[in-house]
């Protein structure tokens, strides 16, 4: 039964890809997008860090908390969550833009290397996973708690890394036993 | 004349038509593996037609049965040639990738053939039918996966392909998709699905032959990639990796307190 499901999935994927290939083949002119992008196209276009800092500023939280109005505080949290998610979405869009720029530029290149492409695809995939984790954390816990959570994670990671380095340094390098070439 | 007969004769006519057009347009040398497969299927049909017993007699029926499974085995193995033709034509400008694909495809075919030889060892004629069915199913699944990978690359990189290869790819992927689903349903539902399986296979093969007949009517050169971009691949890759690194660092830094 599992085999059958797998095989039906393969067949359906074939059909979907055939339709996609047919649609692209019909809609695309061969002369489009053949020019190489400029180096400036690869400049990362992201909203400034200051914008996120402003969005997650503790002063604003204190100011709203002082008002002691629960609906206002809830609205404030909702708005900040929405803004943070927008900021994160922009990073995902930027990674998609960079990758599609790459695909558009190398698709005609005769020297295309599958290993390099797979590595790049992996890097983009990893970024998307990190993005999805961050979005879920912000969505579930809100931006302020998510930031504290990420900060404590970074702190713990730093501690572990320091500990690892100290352990590695404390182990004195012992000489390896020399083989006795003459004896059996 | 029943529906099966109509499908069978139309299929033969289409096969003959593809071969005649290929001869006229001199396509044999351009797509040798593909036309090798088409000629093999056509030859198998002719052998079966010649050996089909006019009156049901046990020796003649046995001879036909043996010939049927031998020609089926040869056709199934030759079908791998179509997949290789698609790979070889699409990847022609990319020598490194083509070499890698040839190694992978060759190794897969060798493994499946070795498995078939081991199974046939001892009593080849008696074991021909179950072995051929198993080889067919395995080969079709492997080909489906290979075609899936190729279609994925074509869609992802928007690789330009000519009319001939497009029809080869579309027709064969459709046929293979239908064949693996029909063969799996046959193995799940048993002999009760025999008639439906045969009809699905014949109809899908008929549709494939129509697509091939239209697509291979005349020669259509595969669009060549722009070689002027070849030297810039390293620069483009480097730029993308650098930009993605910057993006990652920017996001991580932005979340620090």
DSSP per position, A127-170? HHHHHHHHHHHHHHHHHHHHHHHHHHHHHHHHHHHHHHHHHHHH
Q: Chain B residue closest to A50 (CA)? A: B254
Cβ distance of B251 and A151 shorter than 8 Å: no
Residue B190 near chain A (CB below 8 Å): no
pTM of the model as a whole:
0.70
CB pairs under 8 A between A and B: 170
Cβ distance of B141 and A8 shorter than 8 Å: no
Specify the pLDDT at position A40: 67
Whether residue B69 contacts residue B131, with contact meaning beta carbons closer than 8 Å, is answered with no
Cβ distance of A15 and B239 shorter than 8 Å: no
Taking the C-alpha atoms of residue B112 and residue B127, their distance in angstroms, rounded to an integer, is 16
Which is more confidently placed, A20 or A27?
Answer: A20
Residue B40 near chain A (CB below 8 Å): no
Q: Chain A residue closest to B236 (CA)? A: A102
Residue in B158, B170, B239 closest to A39 by CB: B239
Q: pLDDT tens, A48-101?
A: 778 888 888 888 888 888 888 889 988 998 999 999 899 889 888 988 888 888
Helix (H, G, I), strand (E, B) or coil at A77: helix
The CA distance from B154 to the nearest CA of chain A, in Å, is 7
Taking the C-alpha atoms of residue B127 and residue B66, their distance in angstroms, rounded to an integer, is 10
Residue in A24, A44, A110 closest to B246 by CB: A44
Give me the residue spans of the domains in chain A: 39-165
Residue B179 near chain A (CB below 8 Å): no
User: Residues of A with CB below 8 A from B247's CB?
Assistant: 44, 46, 91, 94-95, 98, 127
Cβ distance of A4 and B188 shorter than 8 Å: yes
Taking the C-alpha atoms of residue B87 and residue B81, their distance in angstroms, rounded to an integer, is 10
Q: Does position A32 have pLDDT exceeding 50, yes or no?
A: no
Taking the C-alpha atoms of residue B206 and residue B10, their distance in angstroms, rounded to an integer, is 8
Specify the pLDDT at position A176: 62
Cβ distance of B155 and A24 shorter than 8 Å: yes
User: Residues of A with CB below 8 A from B151's CB?
Assistant: 14, 17-18, 21
pLDDT per residue rounded down to tens, chain B (257 residues): 677 788 888 888 999 999 999 999 889 999 999 999 999 999 998 888 888 776 667 777 788 888 888 888 888 889 888 998 998 888 887 776 677 777 777 888 788 788 777 877 766 666 677 677 777 777 888 888 888 888 888 888 777 788 999 999 999 999 998 888 887 887 777 777 778 888 888 889 999 999 999 999 999 888 776 655 555 777 888 888 888 888 888 887 777 76
Cβ distance of A10 and B246 shorter than 8 Å: no
User: Residues of B with CB below 8 A from A45's CB?
Assistant: none
Cβ distance of B233 and A111 shorter than 8 Å: yes
Taking the C-alpha atoms of residue B167 and residue B208, their distance in angstroms, rounded to an integer, is 9
In a mutagenesis test of the B interface, which of A6, A11, A23, A38 is the best target, namely the one with the most B β-carbons within 10 Å? A11
Q: Does position A175 have pLDDT exceeding 60, yes or no?
A: yes
Q: What is the mean pLDDT of the segment spanning A128-139?
A: 89
Cβ distance of B96 and A130 shorter than 8 Å: no
**Phi, psi angle pair for B57, to nearest 5°:** -120, 135
Specify the pLDDT at position B257: 61
Crossing angle (nearest 10°) for helices B124-157 and A70-106? 110
Average pLDDT over all residues of chain A: 80
DSSP state letter for A109: -
Cβ distance of B181 and A21 shorter than 8 Å: no
Taking the C-alpha atoms of residue B224 and residue B94, their distance in angstroms, rounded to an integer, is 11
Binned at pLDDT 50, 70 and 90, residue A172 comes out as low
Residue B144 near chain A (CB below 8 Å): yes
Cβ distance of B229 and A109 shorter than 8 Å: yes
What fold characterizes domain B3-225?
Rhopdopsin 7-helix transmembrane proteins (1.20.1070)
Taking the C-alpha atoms of residue B43 and residue B46, their distance in angstroms, rounded to an integer, is 5
Q: Does position A17 have pLDDT exceeding 80, yes or no?
A: yes
Residue B141 near chain A (CB below 8 Å): yes
Q: Which residue from B69, B45, B71, B173 is spatially nearest to B130, judged by alpha carbons?
A: B69
Residue A133 near chain B (CB below 8 Å): no
**Tokens 């912000």 sit on residue:** A138
Residue in B96, B141, B188 closest to A113 by CB: B96
Cβ distance of A10 and B177 shorter than 8 Å: yes
Q: Chain A residue closest to B226 (CA)? A: A108
Q: Chain B residue closest to A51 (CA)? A: B254
């Amino acid at each position: 039964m599992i085999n059958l499901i797998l095989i039906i999935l393969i067949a359906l994927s074939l059909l979907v890809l055939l339709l996609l290939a047919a649609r692209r083949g019909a809609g695309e002119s061969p002369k489009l997008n053949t020019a190489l992008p400029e180096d400036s196209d690869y400049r990362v276009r992201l909203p400034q860090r200051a914008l996120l800092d402003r969005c997650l500023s503790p002063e604003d939280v204190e100011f709203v908390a002082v008002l002691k109005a629960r609906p206002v505080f809830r609205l404030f949290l909702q708005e900040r969550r929405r803004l943070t998610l927008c900021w994160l979405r922009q990073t995902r869009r930027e990674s998609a833009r960079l990758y599609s720029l790459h695909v558009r530029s190398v698709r005609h290149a005769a020297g295309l290397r599958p290993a390099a492409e797979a590595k790049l695809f992996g890097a983009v995939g990893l970024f998307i996973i990190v993005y999805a984790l961050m979005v879920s954390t912000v969505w579930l816990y809100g931006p302020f708690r998510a930031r504290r959570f990420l900060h404590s994670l970074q702190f713990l990671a730093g501690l572990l890394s320091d500990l690892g380095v100290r352990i590695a340094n404390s182990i004195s390098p012992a000489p390896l036993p020399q083989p006795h070439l003459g004896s059996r | 004349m029943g529906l099966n007969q109509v499908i069978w004769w139309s299929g033969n006519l289409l096969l003959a038509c593809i071969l005649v057009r290929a001869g006229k347009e001199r396509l044999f040398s351009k797509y040798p593996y593909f036309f090798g497969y088409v000629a093999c299927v056509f030859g198998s049909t002719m052998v079966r037609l010649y050996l089909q017993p006019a009156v049901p007699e046990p020796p003649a029926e046995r001879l036909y049965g043996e010939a049927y499974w031998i020609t089926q085995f040869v056709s199934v193995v030759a079908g791998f040639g179509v997949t290789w033709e698609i790979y070889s034509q699409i990847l022609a400008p990319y020598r490194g990738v083509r070499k890698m694909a040839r190694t992978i495809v060759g190794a897969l075919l060798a493994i499946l053939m070795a498995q078939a030889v081991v199974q046939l060892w001892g009593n080849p004629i008696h074991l021909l039918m179950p072995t051929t069915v198993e080889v067919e199913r395995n080969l079709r699944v492997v080909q489906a996966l290979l075609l899936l990978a190729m279609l994925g690359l074509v869609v992802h990189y928007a690789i330009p392909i000519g009319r001939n290869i497009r029809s080869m790819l579309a027709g064969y992927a459709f046929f293979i998709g239908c064949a693996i689903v029909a063969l799996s349903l046959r193995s799940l539902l048993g002999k009760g699905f025999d008639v439906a399986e045969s009809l699905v296979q014949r109809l899908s093969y008929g549709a494939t032959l129509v697509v091939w007949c239209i697509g291979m009517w005349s020669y259509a050169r595969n669009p060549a990639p722009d070689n002027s971009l070849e030297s810039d691949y390293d620069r483009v890759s480097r730029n993308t990796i650098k930009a993605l690194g910057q993006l990652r660092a920017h996001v991580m830094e932005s979340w620090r307190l």
